[in-house]
Chain A
Amino acid sequence: MHELGIAMQVVDVLAERAQGARVTRVVLEVGMLAALLPDSLRFCFGLATQGTVAEGAELEIIEKPGRARCRACARELELRRPFGRCECGGTDLDWISGEELRIFEMEVA
Protein backbone atom coordinates (compact mmCIF):
# COMPACT_ATOMS: atom_id res chain seq x y z
CA MET A 1 0.00 0.00 0.00
CA HIS A 2 2.71 2.44 0.98
CA GLU A 3 5.03 1.09 -1.68
CA LEU A 4 3.95 3.77 -4.16
CA GLY A 5 4.96 6.56 -1.77
CA ILE A 6 8.24 4.80 -1.09
CA ALA A 7 8.89 4.32 -4.82
CA MET A 8 8.25 8.04 -5.38
CA GLN A 9 10.76 8.90 -2.65
CA VAL A 10 13.29 6.60 -4.29
CA VAL A 11 12.76 8.30 -7.66
CA ASP A 12 13.20 11.74 -6.04
CA VAL A 13 16.59 10.67 -4.67
CA LEU A 14 17.64 9.14 -8.01
CA ALA A 15 16.67 12.27 -9.93
CA GLU A 16 18.55 14.49 -7.50
CA ARG A 17 21.71 12.40 -7.58
CA ALA A 18 21.68 11.65 -11.31
CA GLN A 19 21.85 15.38 -12.12
CA GLY A 20 20.06 15.02 -15.42
CA ALA A 21 21.75 11.80 -16.54
CA ARG A 22 19.54 8.87 -17.49
CA VAL A 23 19.30 6.21 -14.78
CA THR A 24 19.51 2.73 -16.29
CA ARG A 25 19.67 0.51 -13.26
CA VAL A 26 18.90 0.72 -9.54
CA VAL A 27 19.77 -1.65 -6.71
CA LEU A 28 17.60 -1.51 -3.58
CA GLU A 29 18.25 -3.37 -0.36
CA VAL A 30 15.05 -4.32 1.40
CA GLY A 31 15.12 -5.93 4.82
CA MET A 32 12.73 -8.85 5.23
CA LEU A 33 11.33 -7.21 8.38
CA ALA A 34 10.66 -3.87 6.66
CA ALA A 35 6.96 -4.43 5.83
CA LEU A 36 7.60 -3.87 2.14
CA LEU A 37 6.64 -6.28 -0.60
CA PRO A 38 9.28 -6.55 -3.34
CA ASP A 39 6.67 -7.35 -6.00
CA SER A 40 4.59 -4.35 -5.05
CA LEU A 41 7.69 -2.15 -4.89
CA ARG A 42 8.66 -3.33 -8.38
CA PHE A 43 5.20 -2.55 -9.74
CA CYS A 44 5.15 0.89 -8.12
CA PHE A 45 8.69 1.65 -9.27
CA GLY A 46 7.51 1.23 -12.87
CA LEU A 47 4.72 3.74 -12.24
CA ALA A 48 6.81 6.20 -10.26
CA THR A 49 9.58 6.40 -12.84
CA GLN A 50 7.29 7.31 -15.75
CA GLY A 51 8.32 10.63 -17.22
CA THR A 52 11.45 10.84 -15.01
CA VAL A 53 15.18 10.31 -15.61
CA ALA A 54 14.71 6.76 -14.31
CA GLU A 55 11.99 5.73 -16.76
CA GLY A 56 12.72 2.22 -18.02
CA ALA A 57 15.47 1.64 -15.47
CA GLU A 58 16.10 -1.95 -14.43
CA LEU A 59 15.31 -2.53 -10.75
CA GLU A 60 17.15 -5.07 -8.68
CA ILE A 61 15.89 -5.78 -5.17
CA ILE A 62 18.16 -7.54 -2.73
CA GLU A 63 16.20 -8.99 0.16
CA LYS A 64 18.13 -9.15 3.40
CA PRO A 65 17.04 -11.42 6.22
CA GLY A 66 16.78 -9.84 9.63
CA ARG A 67 18.77 -10.64 12.74
CA ALA A 68 17.58 -10.54 16.30
CA ARG A 69 18.93 -11.19 19.78
CA CYS A 70 16.92 -13.21 22.28
CA ARG A 71 16.29 -11.16 25.43
CA ALA A 72 16.18 -14.33 27.51
CA CYS A 73 19.47 -16.01 26.52
CA ALA A 74 21.24 -13.38 24.35
CA ARG A 75 21.59 -15.83 21.45
CA GLU A 76 21.40 -14.32 17.95
CA LEU A 77 19.05 -15.70 15.33
CA GLU A 78 17.99 -15.01 11.75
CA LEU A 79 14.47 -13.77 11.12
CA ARG A 80 12.64 -14.03 7.79
CA ARG A 81 9.31 -12.82 9.17
CA PRO A 82 8.61 -10.29 11.89
CA PHE A 83 8.41 -12.76 14.75
CA GLY A 84 10.14 -15.97 15.71
CA ARG A 85 11.24 -18.26 18.47
CA CYS A 86 14.73 -18.71 19.83
CA GLU A 87 16.16 -22.18 20.46
CA CYS A 88 15.67 -21.54 24.19
CA GLY A 89 11.95 -21.01 23.57
CA GLY A 90 12.10 -17.23 24.01
CA THR A 91 9.93 -15.04 21.77
CA ASP A 92 10.98 -11.70 23.24
CA LEU A 93 13.41 -10.66 20.53
CA ASP A 94 15.42 -7.51 20.05
CA TRP A 95 15.75 -6.73 16.36
CA ILE A 96 19.28 -5.94 15.24
CA SER A 97 18.73 -5.60 11.49
CA GLY A 98 16.23 -6.35 8.76
CA GLU A 99 14.19 -3.16 8.65
CA GLU A 100 16.43 -1.35 6.18
CA LEU A 101 15.26 0.14 2.94
CA ARG A 102 18.27 1.50 1.16
CA ILE A 103 19.10 2.63 -2.32
CA PHE A 104 22.38 0.78 -2.58
CA GLU A 105 23.53 2.07 -5.95
CA MET A 106 22.44 3.19 -9.37
CA GLU A 107 23.87 3.16 -12.85
CA VAL A 108 23.61 6.12 -15.18
CA ALA A 109 24.06 6.06 -18.95
Chain B
Amino acid sequence: MCGVCGCGKEEGEGDRSGHGHEEEGGKHRFVRAKATGRRIRLEHDVLQHNDGLARENRALFRARGLLALNLMSSPGSGKTTLLERTIAESGLRERIFVVQGDQATDRDAARIERAGARAFQINTGQGCHLDASMVARAVAQLNPPHGAILAIENVGNLVCPALFDLGEAARIAVISTTEGADKPLKYPHMFRRSDLVLINKLDLLEHVDFSLAECTAHVQQVNPRAQVLVVSARRGDGLRAFYDWLQQALQQALRTVAAGEQSSVEGVR
Protein backbone atom coordinates (compact mmCIF):
# COMPACT_ATOMS: atom_id res chain seq x y z
CA MET B 1 0.00 0.00 0.00
CA CYS B 2 1.14 3.54 -0.66
CA GLY B 3 2.29 5.04 2.61
CA VAL B 4 1.39 8.56 1.52
CA CYS B 5 -2.17 8.41 0.31
CA GLY B 6 -3.11 4.90 1.42
CA CYS B 7 -4.73 4.12 -1.93
CA GLY B 8 -3.71 0.47 -1.90
CA LYS B 9 -1.30 0.75 -4.82
CA GLU B 10 2.44 0.38 -4.72
CA GLU B 11 4.32 3.60 -4.22
CA GLY B 12 5.05 5.25 -7.54
CA GLU B 13 2.80 2.97 -9.54
CA GLY B 14 1.01 4.58 -12.48
CA ASP B 15 -2.62 3.59 -12.56
CA ARG B 16 -6.03 3.66 -14.18
CA SER B 17 -7.89 5.66 -11.54
CA GLY B 18 -6.33 8.93 -12.58
CA HIS B 19 -3.51 9.36 -10.11
CA GLY B 20 -0.03 8.13 -9.45
CA HIS B 21 2.98 8.90 -7.31
CA GLU B 22 6.35 10.41 -7.96
CA GLU B 23 9.45 11.51 -6.17
CA GLU B 24 9.85 15.24 -5.94
CA GLY B 25 12.80 16.89 -4.25
CA GLY B 26 13.53 13.63 -2.47
CA LYS B 27 10.14 13.82 -0.77
CA HIS B 28 7.48 11.33 -1.75
CA ARG B 29 4.21 13.03 -2.39
CA PHE B 30 0.85 12.32 -3.91
CA VAL B 31 0.35 13.74 -7.41
CA ARG B 32 -2.05 13.38 -10.26
CA ALA B 33 -0.96 11.46 -13.31
CA LYS B 34 -2.52 14.10 -15.54
CA ALA B 35 -2.66 17.55 -13.98
CA THR B 36 -4.89 20.02 -15.74
CA GLY B 37 -5.84 23.13 -13.79
CA ARG B 38 -4.31 24.84 -10.77
CA ARG B 39 -4.09 22.51 -7.80
CA ILE B 40 -4.86 23.92 -4.40
CA ARG B 41 -3.93 21.97 -1.29
CA LEU B 42 -6.65 22.38 1.34
CA GLU B 43 -6.19 19.62 3.93
CA HIS B 44 -9.44 20.77 5.47
CA ASP B 45 -11.03 18.55 8.11
CA VAL B 46 -14.74 18.58 7.34
CA LEU B 47 -15.91 17.49 10.79
CA GLN B 48 -13.61 19.91 12.57
CA HIS B 49 -16.28 22.60 12.76
CA ASN B 50 -18.63 20.41 14.81
CA ASP B 51 -15.78 19.04 16.92
CA GLY B 52 -14.75 22.59 17.87
CA LEU B 53 -18.30 23.48 18.91
CA ALA B 54 -18.54 20.22 20.86
CA ARG B 55 -15.39 21.13 22.78
CA GLU B 56 -16.94 24.49 23.66
CA ASN B 57 -20.10 22.73 24.85
CA ARG B 58 -18.06 20.32 26.97
CA ALA B 59 -16.18 23.17 28.62
CA LEU B 60 -19.44 25.04 29.25
CA PHE B 61 -21.14 21.98 30.76
CA ARG B 62 -18.14 21.41 32.99
CA ALA B 63 -18.02 25.03 34.10
CA ARG B 64 -21.74 25.03 34.87
CA GLY B 65 -21.76 21.68 36.69
CA LEU B 66 -24.00 19.84 34.22
CA LEU B 67 -24.00 16.14 33.41
CA ALA B 68 -24.69 15.97 29.67
CA LEU B 69 -25.80 12.59 28.30
CA ASN B 70 -26.27 11.71 24.65
CA LEU B 71 -29.01 9.08 24.27
CA MET B 72 -29.01 7.25 20.97
CA SER B 73 -30.96 4.36 19.47
CA SER B 74 -33.06 3.26 16.52
CA PRO B 75 -36.51 4.85 16.32
CA GLY B 76 -38.86 3.09 18.72
CA SER B 77 -36.34 1.58 21.12
CA GLY B 78 -37.95 3.36 24.05
CA LYS B 79 -35.75 6.39 24.79
CA THR B 80 -38.64 8.69 25.59
CA THR B 81 -40.42 6.07 27.73
CA LEU B 82 -37.17 5.53 29.61
CA LEU B 83 -36.88 9.26 30.30
CA GLU B 84 -40.53 9.53 31.36
CA ARG B 85 -40.13 6.74 33.88
CA THR B 86 -36.80 8.10 35.09
CA ILE B 87 -38.37 11.50 35.70
CA ALA B 88 -41.28 9.89 37.54
CA GLU B 89 -39.49 7.51 39.88
CA SER B 90 -35.73 8.07 40.09
CA GLY B 91 -35.93 10.91 42.59
CA LEU B 92 -34.03 13.07 40.08
CA ARG B 93 -37.07 14.86 38.59
CA GLU B 94 -35.92 18.34 39.63
CA ARG B 95 -32.52 17.78 38.08
CA ILE B 96 -33.53 16.43 34.69
CA PHE B 97 -33.65 18.74 31.65
CA VAL B 98 -34.27 17.15 28.27
CA VAL B 99 -33.24 18.18 24.78
CA GLN B 100 -35.41 16.31 22.28
CA GLY B 101 -34.25 15.73 18.73
CA ASP B 102 -36.74 14.61 16.08
CA GLN B 103 -37.18 15.34 12.43
CA ALA B 104 -40.63 16.78 13.06
CA THR B 105 -43.27 17.52 15.75
CA ASP B 106 -42.90 18.39 19.44
CA ARG B 107 -44.73 15.28 20.61
CA ASP B 108 -41.76 13.94 22.60
CA ALA B 109 -41.07 17.24 24.36
CA ALA B 110 -44.76 17.33 25.29
CA ARG B 111 -44.46 13.82 26.77
CA ILE B 112 -41.46 14.87 28.86
CA GLU B 113 -43.23 17.96 30.14
CA ARG B 114 -46.29 15.91 31.06
CA ALA B 115 -43.91 13.65 33.02
CA GLY B 116 -42.84 16.72 35.00
CA ALA B 117 -39.48 17.84 33.59
CA ARG B 118 -38.50 20.70 31.33
CA ALA B 119 -37.83 19.91 27.69
CA PHE B 120 -36.72 21.72 24.58
CA GLN B 121 -37.61 20.26 21.20
CA ILE B 122 -35.29 20.52 18.22
CA ASN B 123 -36.73 19.64 14.83
CA THR B 124 -33.93 18.71 12.50
CA GLY B 125 -36.11 18.79 9.35
CA GLN B 126 -34.15 16.88 6.72
CA GLY B 127 -31.29 16.27 9.17
CA CYS B 128 -30.71 12.81 10.55
CA HIS B 129 -28.82 13.73 13.74
CA LEU B 130 -28.25 16.49 16.28
CA ASP B 131 -25.07 18.53 16.06
CA ALA B 132 -23.18 20.54 18.64
CA SER B 133 -24.56 23.93 17.55
CA MET B 134 -28.18 22.76 17.92
CA VAL B 135 -27.42 21.52 21.42
CA ALA B 136 -25.73 24.80 22.36
CA ARG B 137 -28.86 26.73 21.31
CA ALA B 138 -31.14 24.33 23.21
CA VAL B 139 -29.09 24.64 26.39
CA ALA B 140 -29.17 28.43 26.16
CA GLN B 141 -32.98 28.20 26.08
CA LEU B 142 -33.33 25.59 28.84
CA ASN B 143 -30.73 27.22 31.08
CA PRO B 144 -30.35 24.26 33.45
CA PRO B 145 -28.94 25.03 36.92
CA HIS B 146 -25.76 23.69 38.51
CA GLY B 147 -26.12 19.97 39.26
CA ALA B 148 -28.63 19.32 36.49
CA ILE B 149 -28.71 16.28 34.22
CA LEU B 150 -28.98 17.37 30.61
CA ALA B 151 -30.46 14.37 28.79
CA ILE B 152 -30.06 14.83 25.06
CA GLU B 153 -32.36 12.46 23.20
CA ASN B 154 -30.85 12.20 19.74
CA VAL B 155 -32.78 11.56 16.54
CA GLY B 156 -33.68 7.86 16.31
CA ASN B 157 -30.95 6.60 14.02
CA LEU B 158 -28.06 4.23 14.69
CA VAL B 159 -25.75 5.64 12.04
CA CYS B 160 -25.34 9.40 11.84
CA PRO B 161 -25.51 10.50 15.49
CA ALA B 162 -22.41 8.39 16.19
CA LEU B 163 -20.39 10.75 14.02
CA PHE B 164 -21.30 14.00 15.77
CA ASP B 165 -19.89 14.84 19.18
CA LEU B 166 -22.30 17.05 21.12
CA GLY B 167 -20.00 17.74 24.06
CA GLU B 168 -21.62 15.07 26.22
CA ALA B 169 -19.91 13.48 29.24
CA ALA B 170 -21.29 10.04 28.40
CA ARG B 171 -23.10 8.25 25.62
CA ILE B 172 -25.98 5.87 26.21
CA ALA B 173 -27.12 3.50 23.47
CA VAL B 174 -30.53 1.88 23.80
CA ILE B 175 -31.37 -1.33 21.96
CA SER B 176 -34.59 -3.23 22.48
CA THR B 177 -35.49 -6.91 22.41
CA THR B 178 -37.71 -6.35 19.37
CA GLU B 179 -34.59 -5.58 17.34
CA GLY B 180 -31.91 -8.01 16.20
CA ALA B 181 -29.41 -9.09 18.85
CA ASP B 182 -26.67 -8.56 16.25
CA LYS B 183 -27.29 -4.81 15.95
CA PRO B 184 -24.08 -3.96 17.83
CA LEU B 185 -22.13 -5.73 15.07
CA LYS B 186 -24.19 -4.20 12.28
CA TYR B 187 -23.92 -0.67 13.69
CA PRO B 188 -20.57 -0.83 15.45
CA HIS B 189 -19.89 2.92 15.42
CA MET B 190 -22.79 3.63 17.73
CA PHE B 191 -21.91 0.91 20.21
CA ARG B 192 -18.19 1.43 20.11
CA ARG B 193 -18.60 4.93 21.48
CA SER B 194 -21.18 4.16 24.14
CA ASP B 195 -20.35 4.16 27.82
CA LEU B 196 -23.61 2.48 28.76
CA VAL B 197 -25.78 0.16 26.68
CA LEU B 198 -29.34 -0.40 27.84
CA ILE B 199 -31.13 -3.47 26.48
CA ASN B 200 -34.76 -2.37 26.80
CA LYS B 201 -38.16 -4.07 26.52
CA LEU B 202 -37.29 -7.00 28.77
CA ASP B 203 -41.08 -7.33 29.28
CA LEU B 204 -41.39 -8.52 25.65
CA LEU B 205 -38.57 -11.06 25.79
CA GLU B 206 -40.85 -14.10 25.96
CA HIS B 207 -42.58 -13.05 22.73
CA VAL B 208 -39.51 -12.49 20.56
CA ASP B 209 -36.43 -14.37 19.37
CA PHE B 210 -33.83 -12.30 21.13
CA SER B 211 -30.88 -13.63 23.10
CA LEU B 212 -29.70 -11.33 25.89
CA ALA B 213 -26.43 -13.28 26.14
CA GLU B 214 -25.77 -13.00 22.42
CA CYS B 215 -26.52 -9.29 22.34
CA THR B 216 -24.30 -8.64 25.36
CA ALA B 217 -21.48 -10.63 23.74
CA HIS B 218 -21.83 -8.56 20.56
CA VAL B 219 -21.66 -5.32 22.55
CA GLN B 220 -18.52 -6.57 24.26
CA GLN B 221 -16.98 -7.53 20.95
CA VAL B 222 -17.19 -3.97 19.59
CA ASN B 223 -16.73 -2.25 22.95
CA PRO B 224 -15.28 -4.26 25.84
CA ARG B 225 -15.56 -1.29 28.20
CA ALA B 226 -19.28 -0.59 27.79
CA GLN B 227 -21.48 -1.34 30.75
CA VAL B 228 -24.63 -3.27 29.82
CA LEU B 229 -27.90 -3.08 31.77
CA VAL B 230 -31.07 -5.01 30.93
CA VAL B 231 -34.24 -3.03 31.63
CA SER B 232 -37.88 -2.56 30.85
CA ALA B 233 -38.77 1.12 30.69
CA ARG B 234 -42.46 0.17 30.44
CA ARG B 235 -42.62 -2.29 33.36
CA GLY B 236 -39.74 -0.93 35.41
CA ASP B 237 -37.38 -3.94 35.58
CA GLY B 238 -33.72 -3.18 36.16
CA LEU B 239 -34.12 0.57 36.34
CA ARG B 240 -32.78 0.94 39.88
CA ALA B 241 -29.35 0.06 38.45
CA PHE B 242 -29.80 2.73 35.79
CA TYR B 243 -30.74 5.37 38.38
CA ASP B 244 -27.67 4.40 40.42
CA TRP B 245 -25.56 4.81 37.26
CA LEU B 246 -27.08 8.29 36.75
CA GLN B 247 -26.34 9.28 40.36
CA GLN B 248 -22.74 8.12 40.05
CA ALA B 249 -22.24 9.86 36.72
CA LEU B 250 -23.67 13.07 38.20
CA GLN B 251 -21.41 12.87 41.27
CA GLN B 252 -18.43 12.34 39.00
CA ALA B 253 -19.38 15.32 36.83
CA LEU B 254 -19.66 17.49 39.94
CA ARG B 255 -16.31 16.23 41.27
CA THR B 256 -14.78 17.20 37.92
CA VAL B 257 -16.20 20.71 38.35
CA ALA B 258 -14.84 20.91 41.90
CA ALA B 259 -11.42 19.68 40.76
CA GLY B 260 -11.42 22.27 37.97
CA GLU B 261 -12.25 25.06 40.41
CA GLN B 262 -9.58 23.82 42.78
CA SER B 263 -6.91 23.78 40.07
CA SER B 264 -7.86 27.28 38.89
CA VAL B 265 -7.57 28.53 42.47
CA GLU B 266 -4.15 26.92 42.70
CA GLY B 267 -3.27 28.48 39.38
CA VAL B 268 -3.99 31.94 40.84
CA ARG B 269 -1.72 31.21 43.78
Contact = CB atoms under 8 A, between A and B. Distances in A.
Interface of A: 1-2, 4-6, 9-10, 13, 17-18, 21, 24-25, 29, 33-36, 58, 60, 62-65, 81-83, 91-92, 100-109
A82 B192 contact: yes
A42 to B, nearest CB: 13
A2 B42 contact: no
B266 interface: no
B189 A100 contact: no
A18 B38 CA distance: 11
Given A36-B163, A82-B188, A82-B192, 19 more contacts: A6-B46, A25-B32, A33-B189, A35-B160, A63-B8, A64-B5, A64-B6, A65-B6, A83-B192, A83-B221, A83-B222, A92-B225, A102-B42, A103-B42, A104-B43, A106-B40, A107-B38, A107-B40, A109-B37
Which secondary structure dominates chain A's binding surface?
Answer: mixed
Contacts of B159: 1-2, 35
A102 B40 contact: no
A104 B36 contact: no
Interface of B: 1, 5-8, 17-19, 30, 32, 35-47, 49, 126-129, 157, 159-160, 162-163, 185, 188-189, 192, 220-222, 224-225
